[in-house]
Structures are given as structure tokens and as C-alpha cells.
Amino acid sequence: MSFKIGSNSVRGLVLNIGLVLVLLGLMSFVFFYKVMPYVTNQNKVLTVPDLRGMTNKEAVRFLAARQLQYEFGDSLFRADVDPLLVLDQYPKANSKVKIYRKIKLNLNAATPPLVVYPDLKWLYLSICKATIRVIRVEHWKYLLQS
């Protein structure tokens, strides 16, 4: 019994197209259902801890122990909070992320930002007050006395 189909026949063309489609479907199934879940760590999910209120060193140690990476984002200055404390984070606490995900940490700056004061000599008091309000300096009454 010989299995011989001519390559120039319609039956041979349909058989070859069918074999290509079956192989393509099999390769797609293996790629999307076996390879991709392994590569993308689909089943390895962690809950993001709440890092607000920790110092930067505590947060780094805490994240390293849980296979989460970190990066420091903006640093804001708030006088009522200790320097280098985590003020905010993304993704937010208690959200689900995959392992090795980067957590962006926003810290409280160690020093207040520098403010460039305009030259206010020989200006009217009302102009000085308006200028200081524009640059948002707190306690402007004390600044005007000096």
C-alpha cells in the first residue's frame, strides 16, 4: 500500500494546506498556553505592601525580601514629616502585581527646596506682599519685617 499524492493535484494542495494549518494551530497552542505563561510569570502574583511611613532604607530591605524591585520617583518636601520617609507609592498598597515588578517610591526630601527671592528693595509694600504670595513663601509677614 503506497501513500502517494501528486503535488500538482488539487487533492495534494488541500492536503498540504491542511497540514500547514494543523501545524500552525499546534504551534500557536504551545506558544500561547505553555510558553507565554512561563515567560510572563502568570501564576506568580504578590500583594503590594503598604510602604508609606517607612524610611527609604527600611522600604528597600522590605522590598528586596519579597522579590520586588524599586525605583525612587519625585521627592517632595513637607516640613511636618521626617526626611527620606516614603510619602507615596505606585502601585498602591494591597494591589496585585507579578514578582520582580518595580515599585515607584516618592520620598520626602531631606532639605527644603531653594527659593530664589526677587529683589524687593524700594518697592511698595503691597507689591512686595503680592510677589511673595506668588512664590508661595510661608510666613511672609516675618520676611517683610527684615
Summarised one tens digit per residue, pLDDT across range 27-81 is: 999 999 988 888 877 778 888 889 999 998 999 999 888 878 899 988 888 888 8
Nearest Cα residue to 118 out of 106, 133, 105, 107: 133
Does a structural domain hold residue 2? no
Domain with residue 73: its CATH number is 3.30.10.20
Summarised one tens digit per residue, pLDDT across range 107-135 is: 998 887 776 777 888 888 888 888 877 77
Count of domains for the chain: 3
Q: H-type helices in 1-146, by residue range? A: 10-30, 36-39, 56-65, 125-134, 140-145
- Please indicate, yes or no, whether residues 52 and 98 belong to a single structural domain of this protein: yes
Does a structural domain hold residue 3? no
Predicted pLDDT of residue 135: 74
Question: Are 54 and 61 spatial neighbours (Cβ–Cβ below 8 Å)?
Answer: no
Domain extent, residue 23, equals: 10-40
Does a structural domain hold residue 61? yes
Round the CA-based radius of gyration of the chain to a whole number and report it: 32
